[in-house]
Amino acid sequence: MIKTDFLENPGPSTKYIVSKYTGKLVDAIFHDLNEYALKVHLKEKTLCQLYSLIVCVEGGIKPHVERILKNIIYKNILDEEPNIAARTYKVAEILGLYVDTDFLVPMMISHLTDSESKSVPRYVSSCLTAFSAVMTHTSVNFGA
């Protein structure tokens, strides 16, 4: 069992409640991140909420991964604020832990050629940084 960044592993009742409302919680997180674009401490707290949500639902976050990558990870992983960039990197790491690599890697590669996603400044750098974060806890062994 992995020790999460700032959160004890949630109990079964917490996981059940959070998984029941995952879609609404993800939508609220997207809304809050857009709302708090200029307020660094609120943006960081919202990223912490996303991290906690992923820890609670584990693989249940899979239907939302593409939106999370495009709207949060790629836009914030190279943020000027070090706390925002570090927290976004942690979110990407935890995605790599709970979502299958066979699902994530092809999606991330397709984002490199997606014209819609290229509107993000420093897009290729963001994608590669996110890719390295996702591979941190992957279950696939690329060595020997």
What range defines the domain where residue 37 resides?
Answer: 12-135
Residue 74 lies in a domain: yes
- Determine, yes or no, domain membership for 49: yes
87 is a domain residue:
yes
Query: What pLDDT score was predicted for residue 8?
Result: 67
In a domain, 124, yes or no: yes
* Domain annotation covers residue 141: no
pLDDT at position 18, please?
Answer: 84
Domain annotation covers residue 2 = no
Query: Is 7 part of a structural domain of the chain?
Result: no
Transcribe 19-84 into DSSP letters: HHTHHHHHHHHHHHHHHTTT-HHHHHHHHHHHHHHHHHHGGGGGGGHHHHIIIIIHHHTT-SSHHH
Is 144 part of any domain? no
Q: pLDDT tens digit string along 72-96?
A: 998 899 989 999 999 999 999 999 9
Task: Give, for 90, the enclosing helix (H) or strand (E).
Answer: helix 82-98
Identify the band that residue 140 occupies on the pLDDT scale cut at 50, 70 and 90. low
Q: How many domains does the chain have?
A: 1
With cut-offs at 50, 70 and 90, classify the pLDDT of residue 115: confident
- Number of residues written out for the chain: 144
